[in-house]
Amino acid sequence: MSERQVEVEILRYDPETDQAPKLQSYSVPCQEEWVVLDAITYIKDHIDTTVSFRWSCHMAVCGSCGMMVNGEPALSCKSFLRDYPDKIRIEPLAHFPIVRDLVVQLDDFMEKLNRVKPYIIPKEKKSVSDGQHKQSPAQLKAFKQYTLCINCTLCYAACPQYGLVPDFIGPAAMALAHRYNLDSRDGGREQRQEVVATDEGVWECSFVGACSEVCPKQVDPAGAIQQMKIASTVDWYKEHLMPWSKP
C-alpha cells in the first residue's frame, strides 16, 4: 500500500522583500501518526529550508506552534493529518502582524498580559519564616481551570472583537486576570479592575464564545469574562447604591 500524499499549502511572506503574502504548495508523505507540525518539519528538512515557523515542545504544552489550519486556529502539534483532507492550508495566526511566513509578532498580547498583573499580589506580607500561605482544595478548585492557559493565543486569532478592536484586552489576558482574582492568597483585584472593568476590557466582549471553542486546554476564557462582567456589575451597584457596604 502506497503512502498517502498530502498537499500542504503554506502562506509565505517576508515583509522586507515581499509585496504581499502568497501560498506555496508542497507534496508531503503522510504517516498515520503525523501531526501538522510533522508535515511542516518535513518540508523544512527535505524540501524547502527557507520556511519559517515556531515550535518547541511538540507536546501541546508550550503553546508556540499555534497556526491557522484550514482557517481555524489550532496547535499544529495537536492536529493530526489524518483528520484533514488531502489538501491542507496553513497560515499564521490571524489578527497578529507577520514577522515571516508562519511566525507572528506577539508584542501586543504580551503588553496586555502584563497590564492585568498576572501574578499574585499578596493580601499581606509574609516572610518565609512565617510559613506557607495555606489553601484548601476548595479554594484551589475555584481558579484551577484558569491556570491551564499556555498563552498560545489561539483565542486571540479566533476572537472577532480582537480583530475589529485592536485595543481589546482579549480573552487569555482576562482569563488569567480572573485566575488571580479568584486566588484566596491574592489581594490585587482592585488594581486589575482598573484595566479589565473598562470598555477595552470585559465590556468589549460580545460573548461569541469562539475563544473557548478553540482553546486546546479547555480553559473557557469566555466564561471567565462573563463572570468578571457580573462581578464588575456588582461592584458598580455597591458603589452607587450601597456605598455603606464598601470596606
Confidence of residue 246 (pLDDT cuts 50, 70, 90): low
- Helix orientation angle between 171-181 and 221-241, rounded to the nearest 10 degrees: 60
Query: Are 49 and 166 found together in one domain?
Result: no
Domain shared by 134 and 36, yes or no: no
% of the chain exceeding 70 in pLDDT = 98
Q: Are residues 140 and 88 in the same domain?
A: no
Query: Looking at 104, 135, 160, which one is the last position of a domain?
Result: 104
How crowded is residue 180: how many other Cβ atoms within 10 Å of its Cβ? 22
Residue 106 has pLDDT above 80, yes or no: yes
Confidence at residue 247, expressed as pLDDT on a 0 to 100 scale: 58
Q: Both 96 and 143 in a single domain? A: no
- Residues 134 and 47 occupy one common structural domain: no
Out of 104, 123, 147, pick the residue that ends a domain: 104
For 118, 144, 164, 185, the CA distances from 189, given in Å and listed in that order, are 11, 17, 28, 11
Is the per-residue pLDDT at 141 higher than 80? yes
Is the torsion defined by CA of 238, 240, 245, 247 positive or negative? positive
Q: In the listed set 59, 79, 104, which residue is the last one of a domain according to the structure?
A: 104
Look at 36-50, 89-103, 146-160, 226-240 and tell me which has the smallest mean pLDDT.
226-240
Give the closest residue to 8 by CA, choosing from 78, 102, 87, 93. 87
The answer on 56 and 131 residing in a single domain is: no
What is the total count of domains within the chain? Answer: 2
What is the per-residue pLDDT for 243? Answer: 72
d(CA 192, CA 20): 39
Q: Let me know whether 9 and 63 are in one domain.
A: yes
- Per-residue cell: 22: 502568497
Distance between CA atoms of residues 48 and 89, nearest Å: 17
The CATH code of the domain that includes 167 is 1.10.1060.10
**Which alpha helices (H) appear in 105-242, and where do they start and end?**
107-115, 137-144, 154-158, 160-164, 171-181, 189-196, 210-214, 221-241
Mean pLDDT score, 159-181: 97
**In this predicted model, what pLDDT tens digit does every residue of 197-219 receive, in sequence order?**
999 999 999 999 999 999 999 99
pLDDT at 158: 98
Query: What average pLDDT is seen over the chain?
Result: 94
Domain shared by 206 and 179, yes or no: yes
Read off the CATH number of the domain in which 78 is found.
3.10.20.30
In terms of domains, do 148 and 64 share one?
A: no
Q: Are residues 138 and 221 in the same domain?
A: yes
Looking at the structure, tell me whether residues 55 and 129 fall in a common domain: no
pTM value is 0.92
CA 77 to chain centre: 15
Q: Which domain holds residue 85?
A: 4-104
